[in-house]
Amino acid sequence: MAVLGGGLLGLEAARGLAGRGNLVTVVHPAGHVMERQLDAGAGQVLARLLGTHGIDFRLNASAARYLPGSGLKLDDGSKVAADLVVVSAGVRAETGLARDAGLTVDRGVVVDDSLRTSDGRVYAIGDCAQHPGTVSGLVEPAWQQAAVLADLLTGTSVAARYRGTQVVTKLKARGIDLTALGDAHTDVHDTDAEVLSLTDPTGGRYTKLVIREDRVTGAILLGAPDAAATITQLYDRGVPVPADRLAVLLGRALPSGAPAAAGPADLPAAAVVCRCNSVTKGRLVEAFRAGATDVTELASATRATTGCGSCRDAVCGIADWLATTS
């Protein structure tokens, strides 16, 4: 099997195919995988870890032609043998109509915090819109932008503004625990930030923490689930990072006043359960008490689980907990 594209979805597809016993080669035009979310060090460790699951990589390479029944011919003239080719080529905004209409266009249709384009009568949201506080290809920013624009257009809240989305990316691949959030590309030599990094290629672990003004602004946590849980809490809540930075990076420190969440009862109401649709535990509790008493009904009422689906177990746990305590 050949997978064209080593981004988030391409790697998830590759891991799934390899898990079914297929030989998989990922062809990716960049120098390391998931370059939008990971720095080069993390990308190299992740590729090495995926290699232990039977996945090969052809980096800095692009497909020139599909050869039916044979595979891919690459731009350097070499070939990748494959019975099946999966294309995961990412997102690119279609800006032709906006450009023809005279709107300001860069990678997407440029918008401000009111989601207005350069023509104040025209708005843009979702993957076609370019706002400095978000990235394309994710559903969470689109929902948040839609809510702001609805408030503006209906007059419900004329002060509503879109300030960007705090993106937390998780790779959903069996046997691999990877979380990346915020501005994770900050260099360790950046004098305006604290940057801590630990690398363990043999063990398949890579951790990096970026702190500005005593707050988490970026992180990469590969093979470090405890640290991922702690740092994600700090990032979501925007609270000061504990003084022992190394303990945070190793997952041995919790945000001030935050007990370890052993189960649904321990989660604060503000904890985000479904990131794709920004659904908190408190919103799920409200929906349950309003009559949505199983996962299907909770999904219908809140949209939780209807994005990538990785939160389904958490939603099930909250539903079961509510059923036994109500």
Structure token digits, residue 133? 């506080």
Q: Does the domain spanning 168-249 belong to CATH 3.30.830.10?
A: no
Q: What is the mean pLDDT of residues 127-142?
A: 85
Q: What is the mean pLDDT of the chain?
A: 90
Q: What is the pLDDT of residue 176?
A: 94
pLDDT exceeds cutoff 70 at 260: no
pLDDT exceeds cutoff 60 at 257: no
Q: What is the pLDDT of residue 168?
A: 87
Rounded CA-CA distance 47/57 in Å is 8
**Which residues, including other chains, have CB under 8 Å from residue 280's CB and lie 6 or more apart?**
269, 270, 271, 272, 273
Least confident piece of the model among 30-39, 70-79, 132-141: 132-141
Q: What is the pLDDT of residue 209?
A: 96
Q: What is the pLDDT of residue 91?
A: 82
| Residue 315 CA to its chain's centroid (Å) | 19
Q: What is the mean pLDDT of residues 27-55?
A: 96
Residue-wise pLDDT tens digits, 95-127: 999 999 999 999 999 999 999 999 999 999 999
Q: What is the pLDDT of residue 126?
A: 93
The amino acid occupying position 269 is A
* Residue 71 host element (H or E): strand 71-74
Determine contact, residues 237/255, Cβ cutoff 8 Å.
Answer: yes
The amino acid occupying position 106 is D
User: Where do the domains of the chain lie?
Assistant: 2-87, 96-154, 168-249, 273-325
* Topology, domain 2-87: FAD/NAD(P)-binding domain (3.50.50)
Report which of residues 183 and 307 the model is more confident about. Answer: 183
N-terminal to C-terminal alpha carbon distance within the chain: 50
Q: pLDDT-based confidence at 254, cuts 50/70/90?
A: low
* Topology, domain 96-154: FAD/NAD(P)-binding domain (3.50.50)
SS3 at position 284:
helix
Q: What is the mean pLDDT of residues 311-326?
A: 87
Structure token digits, residue 221? 């946590």
With a pLDDT cut of 90, the percent of the chain lying above it is: 66
Q: pLDDT-based confidence at 255, cuts 50/70/90?
A: low
The amino acid occupying position 143 is W
63, 102, 207, 269, 319 from 195: Cα distances, Å: 36, 42, 11, 31, 39
Q: Do domains 2-87 and 168-249 have the same CATH topology?
A: no
Residue-wise pLDDT tens digits, 195-240: 999 999 999 999 999 999 999 999 999 999 989 988 988 998 889 9
pTM given for the model = 0.80
Determine contact, residues 297/290, Cβ cutoff 8 Å.
Answer: no
CATH class of the domain defined by 273-325: mainly alpha
